[in-house]
Amino acid sequence: MAFSLPPLPYAKDALAPYISEETLEYHYGKHHQAYVNNLNKLVDGTADAERSLEEIIVNADGGVFNNAAQVWNHTFYWEGLKPNGGVPEGALVDAIDRDFGSVDALKQALTEAATTQFGSGWAWLVVDGGSLAVTKTGNADMPLRHDQKPLWTIDVWEHAYYIDYRNARPEYIQKVLDNLMNWDFIIDNYARAMRL
């Protein structure tokens, strides 16, 4: 079973002006596609070729893990973005208030994690032991490797923002958090995580 590049949940120009169509063409069309292609080459003819992406991520190391995790991370990142991203509601708001104090405080924690991630990586909103938490990971690392349930992520590899923001990572982070967080996606992930 070969892995394939999942379709974007919106048009390539839908996130503009915060993330440009040109960025999507390179980030999704080139980088994400390359991780898919590399993973297929690495698992071809092995037992991993018949495993799910999540099964590979939990059990693999080295290049297989790096490419499988980057396929998963990027797919999750795209799904977590949405033009006019909505608002948090219901049980999620209660959990945010309990664990962070407010939605603004949650965004500040995400900003801090994303800004201070040294080099390439990710900042995440997760469920960890029944509570919401913000964490960050380097390179391809991700919450599934740490028994955490991911709810949302922001990519802070340079290829995520360099075309639009050059080296101004904090500006990219602020624009995404203020304009593109897909709260419906987060609400659904939270509900699923709390049922597990």
Q: How far apart are CA 15 and CA 8, in angstroms?
A: 11
Backbone angles phi, psi at 181, to 5 degrees: -65, 125
Select 21-79's CATH number: 3.40.50.300, 1.10.287.990, 3.40.50.970, 1.10.150.110.
Answer: 1.10.287.990
Threshold 0.95, pTM exceeds: yes
CATH code given to domain 90-195: 3.55.40.20
pLDDT in tens, 32-70: 999 999 999 999 999 999 999 999 999 999 999 999 999
Q: Measuring CA to CA, how many Å separate 133 from each of 9, 31, 56, 149?
A: 26, 28, 25, 10
Please identify which residue in the block is written with the tokens 């708001």. Answer: 93
Please identify which residue in the block is written with the tokens 């740490």. Answer: 146
CATH 3.55.40.20 in the chain: give the residue spans.
Answer: 90-195
Render 19-66 in DSSP notation, one character per residue: S-HHHHHHIIIIIIHHHHHHHHHHHTTSGGGGS-HHHHHHH--HHHHH
CA angle 153, 158, 163 (to 5 degrees): 110
pLDDT in tens, 95-125: 999 999 999 999 999 999 999 999 999 999 9
pLDDT in tens, 120-176: 999 999 999 999 999 999 999 999 999 999 999 999 999 999 999 999 999 999 999
CATH 1.10.287.990 in the chain: give the residue spans.
Answer: 21-79
